[in-house]
């Protein structure tokens, strides 16, 4: 990492944010020879932003993903980049027949959804009965926009841009309002509860929600990176530094301005050291960050000042979505006793989704000792508030590792893992709900855990969704350079066609690189 003194010279490009879009933009700029001096400033002490991969104690080589965790085979930039970086990957199972749906106090296996003789605890319309809940959504959309579910990617977006329902464009509709036309309320409740998330089915821009949800055409598969998804930005950052790029951690961008020579002047400070502000000059500034982070920068200067026409509307065209993740490690995979080993199970309890993450090899001479970790809770919306009731360490004791065996001794909790330590009552409650959703009364005590609430600053939410009436096709290009006369650019997941995905973060980085810095598309994009 660079020393503060190294940056006295004017930079060609300053990038703020060492999430995946920031390090990617820096590396591409240097690799293409479009800039000589590039420095990335990051307010936290780590590279990766919303990619955060942690090894649980006692499970070396296993990475729990507190942020982004998987990619799909139809994401050209991500798939190409991972190949280019030579990172090993593995399949990421999501929906297995034996996975459990514990809804309204009833256990239903995933494979039972298609069985018309299985009584579900929902009073569905005749036409909705015997349908897989994923198909319920497609059924609803097809009722109101015939033909929409037969398309994907660019043709689908083009079709939806032109389509009108009751004389209103699809982007002027809320997705929830639209679903209410095509689905019974009970059907909607089933789709929401069994989908694992609450917020995607609420009132976001119907055009973008449909485009994103129905992009998963038949044959699309999920994969994950063996060394954790954070290894993508970490590897890119290494390559960036090898090309002479510099990364300065603990450097918060407080505000920026433009001087008489047209250079962007960054005002930076160390958030922990309360150090006085330092100034850095650059020919261009790339803000690689989401909406909430932009809003935390002082609203002054030629771009963010509230008097600059249009920019606030652009910034406010998306909304950050609360997301919460909690990983819990157990001495052995007790859930296997009810026949689940991989994929995920869902419930309407506040834990919402549980992924059977990884199971280690037997150890200590006992075949039952197989340390195992669950992504025990992955929830959004109001459920995040449920867990916040247990999150304050001032009022609740921290959860301590209770099992100290040879594996944990050889691979203890890292400093980073301990930074995301939950409280003891949070784990007790999550453990109780896990046993309830699996219908298991007796299970071993959890021995380690880590959690995150992405609602905290500077993220304000885990992902961002387009608001009703926002026209993403117009906002995206405008947002990459909000004031055309000023060399300040914005990239990242928030203002993209791939919200909630790394692909979206790279997509807007590419728009900035190609449209504003004159780079060609990467030849490795698949
Ligand atoms: P970020 O990663 O948010 O990076 C922004 C950076 O800017 C941060 O490091 C921040 O500290 C820094 N910063 C902000 N303000 C300042 C400032 N003023 N000064 C200095 N630095 C600043 N994607 C997938 O592809 N697959 C998934 O399975 C998936 N699941 C997800 C699950 C969760 C729980 C979450 C939270 C996200 C998930 N995503 C997933 C989304 C994915 O993680 C993001 O799209 C991507 O990591 C965003 O990268 P970014 O560069 O746009 O922004």
pLDDT at residue number 208: 96
State the residue for tokens 């960050």: 289
| Ligand 1 pocket, residue 318 CB under 6 Å | no
Residue 254 CA to residue 267 CA, distance in Å, equals: 6
Task: Note whether 495 and 467 are within 8 A (CB).
Answer: no
Atom of ligand 1 nearest to the CA of 491: 52
**Phi (first) and psi of residue 224, to 5 degrees:** -135, 160
Ligand 1 centroid distance, CA of 50 (Å): 3
Radius of gyration for the chain, computed over Cα atoms and rounded to the nearest angstrom:
24
| Ligand 1 pocket, residue 22 CB under 6 Å | yes
Atom of ligand 1 nearest to the CA of 499: 45
| Ligand 1 pocket, residue 455 CB under 6 Å | no
Residue 9 CA to residue 281 CA, distance in Å, equals: 8
The tokens describing 305, both together, are: 């000042």
DSSP-derived 3-state class of residue 205: strand
The tokens describing 342, both together, are: 């991989």
**Cα distance from N-terminal residue to C-terminal residue, the chain:** 32
Q: Whose CA is nearest to atom 52 of ligand 1?
A: 492
Ligand 1 centroid distance, CA of 403 (Å): 33
Residue 360 CA to residue 231 CA, distance in Å, equals: 21
pLDDT at residue number 276: 66
* Contacts of range 162-170, beta carbons closer than 8 Å, 24 or more positions apart: 169/207, 170/145, 170/206, 170/207, 170/210
| Ligand 1 pocket, residue 177 CB under 6 Å | no
Residue 355 CA to residue 328 CA, distance in Å, equals: 11
- Where are the strands (E) in 362-519, listed by range? 372-380, 448-453, 463-466, 488-491
Residue 72's DSSP bridge partners are 222
DSSP-derived 3-state class of residue 284: strand
| Beta carbons within 10 angstroms of residue 510's beta carbon | 21
Q: Which DSSP category does 428 fall into?
A: H
The tokens describing 179, both together, are: 């679903």
| Ligand 1 pocket, residue 344 CB under 6 Å | no
| Ligand 1 pocket, residue 289 CB under 6 Å | yes
| Ligand 1 pocket, residue 236 CB under 6 Å | no
Atom of ligand 1 nearest to the CA of 47: 9
In 3D space, the residue among 373, 331, 330 whose CA is nearest the CA of residue 355 turns out to be 373
Atom of ligand 1 nearest to the CA of 20: 51
Atom of ligand 1 nearest to the CA of 70: 28
In 3D space, the residue among 198, 207, 222, 280 whose CA is nearest the CA of residue 5 turns out to be 280
By most ligand atoms within 8 Å of CB, the mutation choice from 295, 320, 376, 493 for ligand 1 is 493
By most ligand atoms within 8 Å of CB, the mutation choice from 15, 16, 17, 455 for ligand 1 is 17
Q: Which DSSP category does 150 fall into?
A: G
| Beta carbons within 10 angstroms of residue 242's beta carbon | 11
Atom of ligand 1 nearest to the CA of 251: 20
| Ligand 1 pocket, residue 68 CB under 6 Å | yes
Biggest CA–CA distance in the chain, Å, is 75
| Ligand 1 pocket, residue 325 CB under 6 Å | yes
pLDDT at residue number 152: 81
DSSP-derived 3-state class of residue 250: coil
pLDDT at residue number 1: 53
Residue 258 CA to residue 503 CA, distance in Å, equals: 31
Residue 252's DSSP bridge partners are 269
The tokens describing 92, both together, are: 């990421």
Ligand 1 centroid distance, CA of 49 (Å): 4
| Ligand 1 pocket, residue 340 CB under 6 Å | no
User: Would you state the torsion angle of the CA atoms of residues 10, 11, 15, 17, taken in this order, to the nearest 10 degrees?
Assistant: -60
User: Would you state the torsion angle of the CA atoms of residues 173, 177, 182, 187, taken in this order, to the nearest 10 degrees?
Assistant: 140
Residue 355's DSSP bridge partners are 344, 375
Task: Note whether 503 and 511 are within 8 A (CB).
Answer: no
Q: Which residues touch 407 (CB under 8 Å, ≥6 apart)? A: 58, 59, 360, 363, 364, 371
Q: Which residue stretches of 73-152 are H helix?
A: 76-84, 133-144
Q: Whose CA is nearest to atom 48 of ligand 1?
A: 493
Residue 64's DSSP bridge partners are 54
| Ligand 1 pocket, residue 353 CB under 6 Å | no
Ligand 1 centroid distance, CA of 467 (Å): 19
Q: Which residues touch 497 (CB under 8 Å, ≥6 apart)? A: 157, 208, 211, 212, 472, 476, 504, 507
| Ligand 1 pocket, residue 82 CB under 6 Å | no
Q: Whose CA is nearest to atom 31 of ligand 1?
A: 68
pLDDT at residue number 216: 56
Ligand 1 centroid distance, CA of 455 (Å): 12
Atom of ligand 1 nearest to the CA of 500: 41
Atom of ligand 1 nearest to the CA of 494: 52
Work out the angle at residue 321's Cα, subtended by the Cα atoms of residues 375 and 191, and round it to the nearest 5 degrees.
70
pLDDT at residue number 524: 87
Atom of ligand 1 nearest to the CA of 44: 11
Atom of ligand 1 nearest to the CA of 46: 9
By most ligand atoms within 8 Å of CB, the mutation choice from 16, 18, 19, 280 for ligand 1 is 19
Residues of the chain with pLDDT under 50: 5
pLDDT, one tens digit per residue, over 202-256 is: 999 999 999 988 765 668 899 999 999 999 999 999 999 999 999 999 999 999 9
State the residue for tokens 């199972």: 93
User: How deeply is 326 buried, as exposed, middle or buried, from its count of CB atoms within 10 A (0-12, 13-18, 19+)?
Assistant: buried
Measure Cα distances from 305 to 2, 298, 340 in Å: 31, 8, 54
In 3D space, the residue among 16, 58, 79 whose CA is nearest the CA of residue 405 turns out to be 58
Q: Whose CA is nearest to atom 27 of ligand 1?
A: 68
Q: Which residues touch 418 (CB under 8 Å, ≥6 apart)? A: none
């Amino acid at each position: 990492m660079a020393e503060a003194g190294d940056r006295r010279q004017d930079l060609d490009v300053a990038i703020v944010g060492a999430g995946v879009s920031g390090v990617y933009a820096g590396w591409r700029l240097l690799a293409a020879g479009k800039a000589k001096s590039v420095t990335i400033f990051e307010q936290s002490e780590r590279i990766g932003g919303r990619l955060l991969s942690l090894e649980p104690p006692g499970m070396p080589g296993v990475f729990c993903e507190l942020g982004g965790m998987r990619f799909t085979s139809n994401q050209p930039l991500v798939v190409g980049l991972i190949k280019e970086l030579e990172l090993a990957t593995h399949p990421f199972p999501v929906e297995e027949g034996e996975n459990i749906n514990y809804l309204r106090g009833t256990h239903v296996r995933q494979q039972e959804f298609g069985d018309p003789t299985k009584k579900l605890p929902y009073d569905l319309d005749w036409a909705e009965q015997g349908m897989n809940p994923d198909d319920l959504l497609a059924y609803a959309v097809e009722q109101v926009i015939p033909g929409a579910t037969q398309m994907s990617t660019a043709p689908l977006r083009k079709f939806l841009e032109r389509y009108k329902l009751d004389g209103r464009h699809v982007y002027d509709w809320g997705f929830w309002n639209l679903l209410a036309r095509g689905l019974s309320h009970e059907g909607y409740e089933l789709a929401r509860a069994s989908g694992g998330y609450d917020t995607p089915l609420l009132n976001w821009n119907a055009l973008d929600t449909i485009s994103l949800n129905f992009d998963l055409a038949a044959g699309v598969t999920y994969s994950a990176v063996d060394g954790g998804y954070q290894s993508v930005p970490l590897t890119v950052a290494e390559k960036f530094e090898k090309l002479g790029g510099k990364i300065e951690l603990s450097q918060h961008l407080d505000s920026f301005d433009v001087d008489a020579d047209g250079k962007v002047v960054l005002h930076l400070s160390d958030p922990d050291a309360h150090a006085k502000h330092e100034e850095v000059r650059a020919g261009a500034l790339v803000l690689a960050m989401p909406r909430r982070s932009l809003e935390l920068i002082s609203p002054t200067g030629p771009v963010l000042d509230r008097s600059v026409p249009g920019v606030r509307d652009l910034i406010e065209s998306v909304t950050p979505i609360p997301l919460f993740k909690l990983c819990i490690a157990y001495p052995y995979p007790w859930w296997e006793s009810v026949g689940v080993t991989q994929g995920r199970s869902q419930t309407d309890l506040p834990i919402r989704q549980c992924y059977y993450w990884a199971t280690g090899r037997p150890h200590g001479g006992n075949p039952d000792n197989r340390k195992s970790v669950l992504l025990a809770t992955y929830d959004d919306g109001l459920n995040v508030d449920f867990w916040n009731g247990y999150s304050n360490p001032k009022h609740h004791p921290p959860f301590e590792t209770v099992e100290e065996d040879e594996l944990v001794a050889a691979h203890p909790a890292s400093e980073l893992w301990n930074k995301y330590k939950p409280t003891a009552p949070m784990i007790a409650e999550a453990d109780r709900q896990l046993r309830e959703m699996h219908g298991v009364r007796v299970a071993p005590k959890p021995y380690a855990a880590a959690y995150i609430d992405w609602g905290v600053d500077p993220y304000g939410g885990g992902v961002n969704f387009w608001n009703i009436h926002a026209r993403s096709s117009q906002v995206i290009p405008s947002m990459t350079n909000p004031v055309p006369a000023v060399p300040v650019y914005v990239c990242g997941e928030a203002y993209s066609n791939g919200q909630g995905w790394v692909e979206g973060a790279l997509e807007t980085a590419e728009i900035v690189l190609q449209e504003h810095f004159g780079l060609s598309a990467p030849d490795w994009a698949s």
